[in-house]
Amino acid sequence: MRLLLISNSSMSGQPYLEYPKKEMQKFLDEEDIDILFIPYAAVTFSFDEYERKVNERFNEFGHKVTSIHHFIDPVKAVEEADVIVVGGGNTWQLVRTMRDNGLIEAISAKVKSGAPYIGWSAGSNVACPTIRTTNDMPIIDPKGFDVFNLVPFQINPHYLDANPDGHAGETRQQRIEEFIEINPNLFVVGLREGTMLRLEGENLSLIGIHTARIFIKGKEPVEVEPGDDVSFLMG
């Protein structure tokens, strides 16, 4: 498989999808490819608007995405696409809409057969076995937590080391530790903003400007550096 799993869509003070642009360009090194965009995580803006926003960036490096909402048969659209791109937003809404359209199995099968996959935020969440490490409010019943299962570990996008000033609730680390207590066989990658994971076959590496934190039941969290090989997560 070929995966590019991005923590967030933009950094503070930067245009949308600016910081991962070069990595997406390197990842999509072919010309004349049919890129299918899944906009279903959008809640407060339209799919047309989302498609335009993503195309503004993809056009800069010679590619165009076409949103799945234009197709009468979404499963067929997945089957005929060269590349799958899943945008961020609300993970629960994304999963519910994909499930209602029969796309969970279709996208999983397509990517496992070799189609490159790019996802950011919610799009990274759904590459995992489940969506139970998302940060999003469950605004809708997803009719099940299981998703693409492209990687055998969980991702927590937008990972933060501390709570905002004045907030006395659990830290992100405490919440992830609760998850691995109940799910001891699943590792969790706290993917800080400005970072991404790239999978090429069996080789998984961390890319970006920050470290990532890996949570394993019974062990202290492990920090990995940009450029590190983290292929053990695929084991």
Residue positions annotated with a catalytic role? 121, 136, 158
Say whether 233 sits in a helix, a strand or coil.
helix
Pick from 60, 53, 56: which is nearest to 87 by CA? 53
Distance between CA atoms of 200 and 192, rounded to whole angstroms? 21
Cα–chain center distance at 112:
16
Read off the tokens for 41: 């995580």
The tokens describing 212, both together, are 């990532």
CA pair distance 87, 39, nearest whole angstrom: 6
Measured over the CA atoms of residue 60, residue 61, residue 64 and residue 68, the dihedral's sign is negative
Residue of 84, 123, 76, 124 lying closest to 102 (CA atoms): 76
CB 58 within 8 A of CB 18: no
Cα torsion angle, 44, 161, 12, 39, sign:
negative
Local structure of 197: helix, strand or coil = strand
Helices (H) and strands (E) in the chain, counts: 7, 11
